[in-house]
Amino acid sequence: MKPQAQLSFPLAVMAAALLAAFPAHADDEIDALVKPTSSVAVGAGYVSKDAPRFGQYSGLNQAGTYGLLNLDYRNLDQATGTWLRFRGNNLGLDSRDMRLQHERQGDWAYFFDYTEIPRFEPYTANTAVSGIGTPNLTIPAAGATLAPFDMKMKREALGFGFSKFLGNGFDVQVRLRNEEKNGERIFARGNFTPAFEFTPEPINSTTRQIDAILGYTDKSLQVQGSYYGTSYNNHNTALNIAGGNAGLQPFSPIGLPPDSQSHQLALTGGYNFTTTTRGTFKLAYTRAEQNDTFLSGVPVSPGISPTGNLGGRMDTTQMQVGVSSRPIPKLSLVGDLRYEDRHDKTPIRLYTTNGVSPTTTFSGENEPRSIRTTKGLLEASYRLPMSFRVTGGVDYVEKERNTSAVRVVSFRDKTEETSWRVGVQRAMMEAVTGSITYIHSDRNGSPFYTNVLNCGAVTCGTATAFNLIAPLHLSDRTRDKLRASFDWTPMEDMSVQYVTEQTRDDYANRTVEEFGLRDGRSRTHSLDVSYSFSDEWQGNAWVSNTETSANRADRIAATNTWASTVSNNGRSYGVGLRGKPFAKWDVGMDLSHSDITDEALQWALTGPAVTSLPSFYTRQTTLKLFTTYALQKNASLRFDFIHDRFATNDWSWATWTYFDGTTLRQSPRQYVNFMGVTYIYRFQ
């Protein structure tokens, strides 16, 4: 944000100044500013076969021919510095977007934009359920004929915004957005007794956003006052289900996500105390509400006390102050303090009496979730001799939560975490820079509360299971992290970057049996290399590897305990090449591969043996080739070829059948080719 006087230069004057400053290097760039070039690209593409994964978000999900159309229009009135731009991408596909922007630099601007984002469900449902996509479903009797059904969702967003410099350092910005979301997604009703039935959720909602900002800027002070508001309106209030298992028929209607809204007022800014010291601040208040009317005609437990809606309300107060300073040339200091109070003001009422008694683990009341968070940061960085720079810092996070008298899992109302870090960076020579950082964190908190535990020996064994395990986000934890990076430029045309990070977590257990999460590890390596073979040929390559794992122990009863190791390993690599083999030809290639594997190894500690779950992998390889041929100075032909291979051993749905007979399937091997040709015309 800058004062109006600094932004109101005509573009032609700015361009002339740049030409004078860089007469030998910037002719093409300045020509593009003074004489902007527009373009239109029209063509056709062909997808060789149905491609649920390949076209999940682009719309290229079915075999066939697609229209390709891109527009980029730019016009400049040099006398006034007024721009008119229009951009349209993927206009022939379901993933199209458009933007119209009109602005006078340093004075005013406005825009309209439109975006479509599809999502095609990669699993095909073979089902006899009818009414999918509507709030009224029918589940036929057993033995009905199944038919394939492809679920999808689509978002359509329309936006508008404008900005205006008001003079004397003031400016205003307003942005509006309306998004319509339609379709269906996987959902089910039921439980393990008697069963689950396939009941896809209908999607038909509207989300609106407004963002208004009033700003002020001078040499020392920059400040913004803003309002941000949202509203969510679900046009389907309930899912009505006819037929199905007699034991599940009481589960109709089923309430769908309710309407909600939020409002935020904020004041943010910064102040330059001196040329080397700057402060920042933020004050914000948000009120979020959910007071949509409850479903009518739904049987409730006798004696409950709720009124016609939840009356949900969350008030959030945020405050932040920070300062950065360089008191002497070799020393930099940073300090920051943040406070957030999320106060859940939802009324506490009795919603059910089913099973509520002095011997249960719940009370039938809703549980408010308030949390106060305080964060502090101090950091110092000092430049040492021999091109060394050492940085040290401390971070502190304190969270206080409310608690209810009756809980399902262990609970503590306060946690504190302190992290100490120290790092060293050095430019070892003109072309080599390296850094290494070590971070040590300790988290602990207030004593754990003792839960109400009367679920009976049949379910909980010794009736103490709910007090044996500390939840992941509340448990004591020690974390050690080591991060290192290396940048090398051995020659002007080559650069190499390497980054690695390793983390180890140790969790304190509440019992000698060490139930719950015990420890975790992660390791990441990445290497990027780019090389310019000549003025006509450039290449790059990258590889990364990520490994995470966690060990834990659980039990069903006092004589049936087991341990497990859960891991996720991801490997990926890629190469790219750009070149100009002939005067009129440009070519390019990108090859990428990723392989992600999840494993869950289990073994018995006491009691009968347990069987580990099978591993789960997902692999994808994509090859992209393109070439552009210049027909003339302002026209060219572009040819694209994409080969995509997807493979998975997804067993989660492959062995599952809903009670009504519905199955969800995807092809474990998906190979698809895309070929496209586009004519590109450029004009001024």
pLDDT score at 641 = 97
- Average the pLDDT over 66-86 and give the result: 95
Q: Edge-to-edge, what's the strand order for the sheet holding 254-255?
A: 136-139, 238-243, 254-255
The pLDDT confidence band at residue 456, using thresholds 50, 70 and 90, is very low
Please write the tens of the pLDDT for every residue from 233-260: 999 999 999 999 888 888 889 999 999 9
The pLDDT confidence band at residue 507, using thresholds 50, 70 and 90, is very high
pLDDT score at 405 = 61
Amino acid (one-letter) located at 389 = R
CA-nearest of 358, 422, 424 to 389 is 424
C-beta separation of 179 from 207 below 8 A: yes
Instruction: State the DSSP code for 608.
Output: S
| CA dist., res. 437 & res. 389, Å (int) | 12
Please write the tens of the pLDDT for every residue from 132-156: 999 999 999 888 999 999 999 999 9
Mean pLDDT for all residues in the chain: 88
Please write the tens of the pLDDT for every residue from 542-578: 999 999 999 998 877 667 788 999 999 999 999 999 9
Give the residue with greater pLDDT, 343 vs 431.
343
| CA dist., res. 235 & res. 207, Å (int) | 11
> What percent of the chain stands above pLDDT 70?
88
pLDDT score at 463 = 42
Count the neighbouring beta carbons within 10 Å of the beta carbon of residue 312.
18
Q: State both tokens at 90.
A: 């993927």
Please write the tens of the pLDDT for every residue from 227-240: 999 999 999 999 99
pLDDT above 50: residue 24: no
pLDDT above 90: residue 353: no
Q: What is the pTM of this model?
A: 0.86
Can you tell me which residue has the tokens 């697609």?
A: 66
pLDDT above 70: residue 226: yes
Amino acid (one-letter) located at 246 = A
pLDDT above 60: residue 390: yes
pLDDT above 60: residue 414: yes
Give the residue with greater pLDDT, 374 vs 511.
374
Please write the tens of the pLDDT for every residue from 570-618: 999 999 999 999 999 999 999 999 999 999 999 888 888 888 889 999 9
Overall size of the chain counted in residues: 684
pLDDT above 80: residue 296: no
Please write the tens of the pLDDT for every residue from 29-48: 445 556 799 999 999 999 99
CA-nearest of 575, 660, 528, 625 to 142 is 660
- Average the pLDDT over 468-495 and give the result: 90
Instruction: State the DSSP code for 246.
Output: G
Looking at 110-124, 209-223, 467-481, 593-607, which range is the least confident one?
A: 467-481
